[in-house]
């Protein structure tokens, strides 16, 4: 259970994942801030996609 709590959600982009320590923490709160047009919505949409993708395709399978 502890290792699952420390899991990370990959963005599906190796460079971005590397800069974020392997992705975003699964069990936590992350706040995105920035000026209009900086990609916050695209960032969130990519996270949503990764969250619902099956594990065998790099997502977390909706867990």
Q: Is residue 45 part of a domain?
A: yes
Smallest CA-to-CA distance from 7 within 32, 25, 33 is with 25
What's the total number of domains in the chain? 1
pLDDT, tens only, 5-44: 468 888 888 898 899 888 888 788 889 999 999 999 998 9
Q: Is residue 63 part of a domain?
A: no
Residue 47: band (very low, low, confident or very high) from pLDDT cuts 50, 70, 90: confident
Domain of residue 19: give its range.
2-57
What is this structure's pTM?
A: 0.65
Q: Is residue 27 part of a domain?
A: yes
Phi, psi angle pair for 41, to nearest 5°: -65, -45
Whole-angstrom Cα distance, residue 42 to residue 55?
Answer: 21
Element (H, E) at 24: strand 24-25
How high is the pLDDT of residue 48? 87
Q: Is residue 62 part of a domain?
A: no
How high is the pLDDT of residue 6? 67
């Amino acid at each position: 259970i502890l290792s699952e709590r420390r899991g990370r959600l990959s963005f599906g982009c190796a460079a971005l994942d590397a800069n974020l320590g392997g992705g975003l923490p699964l069990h936590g709160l992350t706040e995105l801030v920035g000026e209009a047009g900086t990609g916050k919505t695209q960032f969130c949409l990519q996270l949503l996609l990764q969250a619902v993708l099956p594990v065998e395709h790099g997502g977390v399978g909706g867990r």
